[in-house]
Amino acid sequence: MTVRIETAAEAKVMRAIVDREHRTAMAERRAARDAHEAATAAPDRPRVGWSTKAPPRRKPSDIDRAIAKRAEEHRLDWARRHPDAAKAERAFRKGRAEMTDRWDHKREGTVETHERASRTHQGALARLWQSGAITADQLAAAVEIAMVAERIGADVAVRTASLETRISSGRHGNGAFYEALSRVRHEVAYTRWRAAIDGPIGAVLDMVVGETVGFTVVAKRYRIHNRRAKKLLIDALDLWPRLLGQVCKEIDRAAVDQMHATIA
């Protein structure tokens, strides 16, 4: 059925009625959609984030102050009764704080590793580390290699004894056992490390063990390029932690116990 609009006024009224009904229908549709979303939405989850700000300091209570006062009294009393020990303890705390501040800018390794490495090698390796040619981890690897090499060179008995005879069966306690186990692991890793060096091992040892020399001196001594000598050193230092990690996985307490059971 077709409705015929006779006048412009009637057409205008009709358009107004259609627009009104359209707006009403759209409003009802939006209301239905919002109700559906509210009914099916997941529950609100708390937003958890990380803050770099330090938490506010809690104001100490009377009990906290009393405990702190009592502890301070005990400390002062102990210091009066043991002046030498108290002086040594203060010196240790001060040295520890200075060492922590000295290596606070380093993000890899511990402060003890950096301190020991810087004091052990005051020659060519230290200069390479200070110049940024090698990292602190590589310097620490050089320290470990040098310690193992020097220990092996100074102790003939350790070099000739077998793995089984160098491991204590526990008669001296767990501390002695793990100290001997660590020693064996480092010696086995050192043997593998020497065999895995891709180049003249003497050149690497000259740069790591004993009175170390720079890679430029080694390059002239062994008639190789400076870049080749430097690469030999860096590759050797990077190789050490990988081989030591492999040896530590292979030689553990269970393996040693099995060795003892075999030879018993």
Side chain identity at 216, as an amino acid letter?
Answer: T
Q: How much is the pLDDT for 155?
A: 58
Tell me: the pLDDT tens digits for 70-109? 888 888 888 888 888 888 888 878 887 887 887 777 666 6
Q: What is the largest CA-CA distance in the chain?
A: 122
Burial class, 56, CB count within 10 angstroms (exposed 0-12 / middle 13-18 / buried 19+)? exposed
CA terminus-to-terminus distance, the chain: 111
Instruction: Work out the average pLDDT over 3-27.
Output: 73
Predicted confidence band of residue 158 (pLDDT cuts 50, 70, 90): very low
Residues in the chain: 264
Instruction: Please tell me the predicted confidence (pLDDT) of residue 196.
Output: 92
Q: Side-chain half-sphere of 116: how many Cα atoms within 13 Å?
A: 14
157 pLDDT exceeds 60?
Answer: no
- What pTM was estimated for this model as a whole? 0.47
CA distance 179 to 174: 8
**Quick one: pLDDT at residue 263?**
53
Contacts 24+ apart (CB under 8 A), 260-264: 260/164, 260/167, 260/169, 263/164
pLDDT at position 30: 85
Higher-scoring residue by pLDDT: 29, 163 = 29
99-151 per-position pLDDT tens digit: 788 777 766 667 666 666 665 545 678 788 888 888 888 888 888 898 888 88
